[in-house]
């Protein structure tokens, strides 16, 4: 191999006098790529085979064949190559996991806890919580987990009642806004987004937004555009030279600009918190972070706490918390509209347990098994994060009888798992009963909407709290239906980084106009 590399570069040196500079650069790039591919195959001393997979094109790998609905493409490949296979996207090896047992086996191990080093993650400069890894990720994740527990966003913690009250305030405001529509057809996504942003904004930085607030409008635009641009810029992750192609150049640099603009907004919030900080009365996550940052500086401890890290964590928590919950609630409305018998049964259970003169609370949840099963079925069927966040191997390892080299991207195909007919009867159908056993909630271990293992979603408890309170409040107060003359909304979503419902209108008709809720 070393001789091949040596003579290849000697050949290029001799040809460079006869070839145009641009062509020489292209040849050098192609040679480096091919040598890298050969090294991928040859460097392992393992006797285990590499995972099977389809062949791709030189330079591009399988990238041109992914299509827009890449979760469906990857699921179809599993039918041919099995529950674990590999593809090359550009020069990067990507191993796709389509089996829940293999996903659990992998993600409980430290060796699979890395994040891929890509062109887009380099924009983050190693900061944040979602796309970071190593010692920074371990320290910051432990801190975020501790603060979320303190403020009630975990199953235990002194702030859970206070957090529930914050969510209930937004539920009431959300329902009031829908009531003002008086049953007129509308898209509920903007109202959902504002309510959800106020929940995560109050927990994160004690900020809530009105409909007219230009800061909210702009921040929402930045986040939604960011999800779209990240999808467009995916090829840049695997073929860095595409940064200089027109489409890749626009997406890459627009993402960079948007990140700077959102960071400037979060910087303003952080500066205001510094001016008004009282360490004895922590208001939110930003306060807690600033206190910890100051302690680390005072004690001269080696740590990753910094103002830049704070800004990226704020962006991670706000964008992830806003997009996933908003899209899941929108999917919930879509499936309830398409399945009026489910809607009616949930309302009957709510009326029997909660009554008609107050909104549901978390304490009602244990007595509402069919309602809870409906929410679980929304999470399964919607698959908002159809492909879980990519992991990366920290060193050579093995999985399910295959050799997995260091720096391999490892992708959990949650869509394939949640839509597997061998695991779920009629997976395309919306059937809450699949989560009930003898009238009680039963969740199989192959149900993993928040992923699993060391990098399981930190916001799972808050998300489930929001879903329960918003969905039960909505169905307690309104009948949801399709506007007259319009077709049922499509179950085929739009694929960005998340899987969102295509735009649709709904009519929310009050169940009892004279009802006074407390």
For the chain, the structural domain boundaries read 44-510
In this prediction, residue 17 carries a pLDDT of 52
Q: Indicate whether 363 pLDDT > 60.
A: yes
> How large is the angle between the packed helices 340-353 and 460-477, nearest 10 degrees?
90
Q: CA separation (Å) from 9 to 3, 6, 31, 188, 462?
A: 10, 6, 9, 60, 56
**pLDDT tens readout for residues 229-288:** 777 777 777 887 777 766 556 777 788 888 889 999 999 999 999 999 999 999 999 999
pTM above 0.95, yes or no: no
Q: Indicate whether 9 pLDDT > 80.
A: no
Q: Indicate whether 517 pLDDT > 50.
A: no
* CB-count exposure of residue 188 (10 Å: 0-12, 13-18, 19+): buried
Q: Indicate whether 50 pLDDT > 50.
A: yes
3-state percent breakdown (helix, strand, coil) of the chain, nearest 5: 55, 10, 35
Q: Is 57 helix (H, G, I), strand (E, B) or coil?
A: strand
**pLDDT tens readout for residues 392-408:** 999 999 999 999 999 99
**What's the CATH number for 44-510?**
1.10.630.10
In this prediction, residue 152 carries a pLDDT of 73
Name the percent of the chain lying above pLDDT 70: 87
Name the pLDDT band for 125 (thresholds 50, 70, 90): low
The CB density around residue 242, as the number of other CB atoms within 10 Å, is 22
Name the pLDDT band for 36 (thresholds 50, 70, 90): low
In this prediction, residue 498 carries a pLDDT of 87
Q: Are strands 409-412 and 391-392 parallel, antiparallel or unpaired?
A: antiparallel
* CB-count exposure of residue 57 (10 Å: 0-12, 13-18, 19+): exposed
In this prediction, residue 88 carries a pLDDT of 95
Name the pLDDT band for 14 (thresholds 50, 70, 90): low
Find the mean pLDDT for residues 29-43.
55
**Mean pLDDT, rounded, of the chain:** 87
**pLDDT tens readout for residues 69-114:** 889 999 999 999 999 999 999 889 999 999 999 999 999 999 999 9
Q: What angle do CA 427, 433, 439 make, to 5 degrees?
A: 155
**pLDDT tens readout for residues 152-209:** 766 655 667 888 999 999 999 999 999 999 899 999 999 999 999 999 999 999 988 8
Q: Indicate whether 18 pLDDT > 70.
A: no
């Amino acid at each position: 191999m070393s001789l091949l590399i040596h003579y290849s570069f000697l050949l290029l040196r001799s040809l460079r006098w006869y070839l145009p500079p641009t062509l020489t650069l292209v040849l050098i790039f192609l040679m480096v790529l091919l040598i890298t591919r050969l090294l991928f195959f040859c460097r392992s001393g393992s006797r285990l085979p590499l995972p099977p997979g389809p062949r791709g094109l030189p330079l591009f790998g399988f990238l041109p064949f992914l299509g827009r609905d890449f979760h469906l493409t990857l699921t179809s490949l599993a039918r041919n190559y099995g529950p674990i296979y590999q593809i090359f996207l550009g020069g990067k090896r990507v191993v796709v996991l389509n089996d829940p047992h293999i996903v659990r086996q992998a993600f409980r191990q430290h060796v699979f806890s890395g994040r891929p080093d890509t062109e887009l993650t380099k924009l983050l400069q190693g900061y944040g919580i979602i796309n970071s890894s190593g010692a920074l990720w371990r320290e910051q994740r432990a801190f975020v987990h501790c603060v979320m527990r303190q403020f009630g966003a975990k199953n235990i913690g002194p702030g859970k009642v206070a957090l529930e009250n914050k969510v209930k305030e937004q539920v009431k405001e959300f329902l009031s806004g829908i009531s003002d529509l008086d049953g007129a057809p509308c898209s509920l996504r903007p109202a959902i987004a504002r309510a959800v942003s106020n929940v995560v904004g109050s927990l994160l930085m004690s900020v809530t937004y009105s409909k007219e607030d230009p800061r909210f409008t702009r921040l929402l635009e930045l986040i939604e555009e960011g999800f779209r641009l990240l999808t467009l810029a995916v090829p840049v992750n695997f073929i860095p030279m595409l940064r200089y192609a027109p489409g890749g150049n626009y997406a890459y640099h627009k993402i960079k600009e948007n990140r700077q603009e959102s960071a400037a907004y979060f910087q303003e919030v952080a500066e205001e918190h510094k001016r008004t900080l009282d360490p004895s009365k922590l208001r939110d996550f930003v306060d807690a972070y600033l206190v910890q940052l100051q302690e680390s500086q005072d004690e001269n401890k080696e740590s990753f706490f910094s103002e830049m890290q704070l800004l990226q964590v704020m962006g991670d928590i706000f964008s992830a918390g806003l997009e996933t919950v908003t899209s899941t609630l929108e999917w919930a409305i879509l499936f309830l509209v398409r399945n009026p018998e489910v809607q009616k049964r949930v309302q009957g259970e709510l009326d029997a347990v909660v009554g008609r003169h107050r909104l549901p609370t978390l304490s009602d949840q244990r007595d509402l098994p069919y309602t809870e099963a409906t929410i679980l079925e929304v999470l399964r069927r919607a698959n908002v994060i159809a492909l879980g966040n990519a992991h990366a191997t920290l060193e050579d390892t093995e999985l399910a009888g295959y050799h997995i080299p260091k720096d391999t991207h490892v992708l959990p195909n949650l869509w394939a798992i949640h839509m597997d007919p061998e695991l779920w009867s009629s997976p395309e159908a919306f059937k809450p009963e699949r989560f009930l056993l003898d009238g009680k909630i039963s969740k199989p271990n192959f149900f993993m909407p928040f992923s699993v293992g060391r990098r399981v979603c930190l916001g799972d408890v808050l998300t489930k709290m929001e879903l329960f309170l918003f969905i039960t409040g909505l169905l307690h107060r309104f009948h949801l239906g399709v506007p007259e003359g319009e077709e049922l909304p499509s179950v085929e979503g739009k694929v960005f980084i998340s899987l969102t419902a295509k735009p649709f209108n709904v009519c929310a008709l009050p169940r009892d106009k004279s009802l006074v809720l407390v």
